[in-house]
Amino acid sequence: MNPIALCIRVACPRFLRGPVMPRSHSMPTQRRPAAAGRLWACHPALRNGLALLATAALVLALATAAHAGPAPEKDAKAPAEKAKAAAPAPAPPPQFVSEPEGFARPHISSSTELNVSIIKVVLCVLFAGVVFHVTHWTFLDVRAVNTKEVLWESVVLGSGVAGLAAAILVPMFYVGLPLGILLFGGGAVAYAMHRNGLVDPPFHVLTAEHFGRIKRRLFRQREDVESEGPVLGTGHDVIFMGLDDIPIRLEGTAKHEREANREIERFFYQAITRGATMIGYLARPQKGEVRFRVAGEIAPGGDIDPPASEFVAASLKRLAGLDPSEVRKPQEGRCRAVVEAKTYELRVKAAGTVKGEQVAIRIIDLAASQMRLDQLGLGETQIVGLQEGLAAKPGLVILSGPKDSGLTTTLHACLRNYDRYSNNIIAFEPHIDVEVENVNHVVVSQEDGPIAAAEVQKHTRLEPDVVSFDALSLSEIAQVLAEAAQEHTVLVGLRAADTMQAIVRMSELLGSTEPLAARLQVVLNQRLVRLLCPQCKEAYRPNPEFLRKSNLTSHQVDVLYRPPTKTDEGAAPCPQCHDDRFIGRTAIFELMPIDQTARDMIGSGDNLNELRTYGRKAGMLNLQEEGLRLVLAGRTSIDEVLRAIKAT
């Protein structure tokens, strides 16, 4: 790399970032700017302004020095210092500082009169601004079009420096400036012609169409702002950030790339405001398919037509710091998004499939994943019962539910219930999505069988106060956990349809009911229920038969709610739920505190129905009853509760 280019890169970390055009092959991973360069990298207007100011100061200083000649040194210095004071913060762009001795010293006219007019300084500054802008663009463009970096950077930068030198140092200013423009223009046009030969016509520069684009951008014609607009044209609806919370800009110079970036912003905003937990993007040759997973169901997310669709996958990968040129091998990365002042973590997985490149993005609501016990939707007595169970040491707590029932969130809320500074807590999980502060998270793959069990045992022997194990399915590990429950508090998450089935499942894994009879404190089962959209939910009079079955009278319940049944062909979609009919989810719980009598019943192998009857007498509400509570409150529909309860 040539030394001038190196200087520029050191001073301007923006150049360290990934390429911006579609044909990028070099610099695959997106690197974060260095700490000192963050402000620099984030605010182009600020950066360009400061650079221009610094250039102005320098030009003024040089022009003064040049025209004042060597004689009155003090006079020559004064305005230079004054000018420098005006632009204190950043060093001026190095292409101008690294050279000054080279052209400030030479044989200038010996005229001693100070001959610096404002017009000349302004013209010089404007020229310097253009040189800076074009050089900056060239540095990005050489990578984007994948051509000889060092050669073309040197050509453009060199002609820029020569042009500026000519404009400032040639004694007759109105000869020097045109000469300078010619020198710089020559280098820049040579590069433009070279790179136009490498890219398709829509990406050509210095063409009539290109000048038209510049004109439209400068004068901001209305229709154009709508169709082309800036990349974050929808008013920063979504702000993407790295894991260090530094904003990542979706950059793009080509029209279709910017269009792709706007589409990305659109579908992220829609997905997040609709409460989606997943975005799937499949780059098919004929179109890009966008799918959301909203409350466990797949919903269309608006397909993207080519040619914009061809840029979407690469932009998504760049966001997560992945290699955009790798289209086959699986890659995984993370980043964040802020929407309406809430932060979401995005887990991005990209891989090639036979149908096309696929990118899956899991959306994790960081606020929701930090929930405490009282925020989950548990009733007051349920919270007390659960807290008592969690406080027992030694003790065993079973949390259960079908797949995608929010069990991990509940498990983490339970861990947050402990004082995590004075307790040593270890959480075993199949994968770590969200970390609980001051909890030691360990990934365990139960497919490894006895090896995984040995790994768990190694940790449980280190005297933890609380051990949790999410999604238990391996008998060997269940044995280790039962052993740990003799001294510590053990929380187990497993798949089961209700509390009784959870007890059965755990006894099967243990091969005996004995550990449960000795240590079991509380059993919980849960479901996630979708909540009706408050905007379009439909009130109706409930069927008297249903009320009778639910032990309710028609006096108690006037109306219930359900999703809209009338579909108006051609009507605009509901502004709040986009016709998803539901917004957000909450959990319903069945919680059975286990006392000594219940433990004895489990130990003696009694019929589980008797245990259930015992629990009911003790006041345990089952899932149906908890769901009905939500239905009567108008927050969900009967069908939705039934659907959730049927899930296994």
Residues lying near Zn ion in the complex (CB under 5 A): 533, 535-536, 574, 576-577
User: Which CB atom, from 299 or from 536, has the smaller least distance to Zn ion?
Assistant: 536
User: Which CB atom, from 478 or from 577, has the smaller least distance to Zn ion?
Assistant: 577
Does residue 29 contact residue 322 with C-beta atoms inside 8 Å?
A: yes
Classify burial at 336, counting beta carbons within 10 Å of its beta carbon; exposed 0-12, middle 13-18, buried 19 or more: buried
Closest distance between Zn ion and the C-beta of residue 266, in Å?
19
User: Which CB atom, from 39 or from 574, has the smaller least distance to Zn ion?
Assistant: 574
User: Which CB atom, from 239 or from 574, has the smaller least distance to Zn ion?
Assistant: 574
Q: How many other β-carbons are positioned within 10 Å of the β-carbon of residue 219?
A: 8
User: Which CB atom, from 510 or from 536, has the smaller least distance to Zn ion?
Assistant: 536
Does residue 320 contact residue 346 with C-beta atoms inside 8 Å?
A: yes
Instruction: Report how far residue 129's alpha carbon sits from residue 458's, in angstroms, rounded to the nearest whole number.
Output: 65
Closest distance between Zn ion and the C-beta of residue 577, in Å?
3
Closest distance between Zn ion and the C-beta of residue 92, in Å?
56
User: Which CB atom, from 406 or from 563, has the smaller least distance to Zn ion?
Assistant: 563
Classify burial at 347, counting beta carbons within 10 Å of its beta carbon; exposed 0-12, middle 13-18, buried 19 or more: middle
Buried b (16+ CB within 10 A) or exposed e, 95-110: bbeeebeebbeeebee
Closest distance between Zn ion and the C-beta of residue 568, in Å?
13
Cis peptide upstream of residue 202 (ω within 30 degrees of 0): no
User: Which CB atom, from 478 or from 531, has the smaller least distance to Zn ion?
Assistant: 531
Instruction: Report how far residue 620's alpha carbon sits from residue 504's, in angstroms, rounded to the nearest whole number.
Output: 18
Instruction: Report how far residue 313's alpha carbon sits from residue 316's, in angstroms, rounded to the nearest whole number.
Output: 5
User: Which CB atom, from 168 or from 577, has the smaller least distance to Zn ion?
Assistant: 577
Distance (Å) of CA 347 to CA 157, 237, 310, 338, 365? 40, 20, 21, 14, 11
User: Which CB atom, from 203 or from 582, has the smaller least distance to Zn ion?
Assistant: 582
Distance (Å) of CA 531 to CA 177, 363, 640? 70, 19, 9
Cis peptide upstream of residue 285 (ω within 30 degrees of 0): no
Closest distance between Zn ion and the C-beta of residue 576, in Å?
5
Closest distance between Zn ion and the C-beta of residue 272, in Å?
17
Closest distance between Zn ion and the C-beta of residue 539, in Å?
14
Closest distance between Zn ion and the C-beta of residue 571, in Å?
12
> Phi and psi of 260, rounded to 5°?
-60, -40
Residue 340 zone, left/alpha/beta (φ > 0; ψ -120 to 50; rest): left
Task: Name 479's Cβ contacts closer than 8 Å, sequence gap at least 6.
Answer: 453, 510, 511
Instruction: Report how far residue 265's alpha carbon sits from residue 255's, in angstroms, rounded to the nearest whole number.
Output: 16
Closest distance between Zn ion and the C-beta of residue 580, in Å?
7
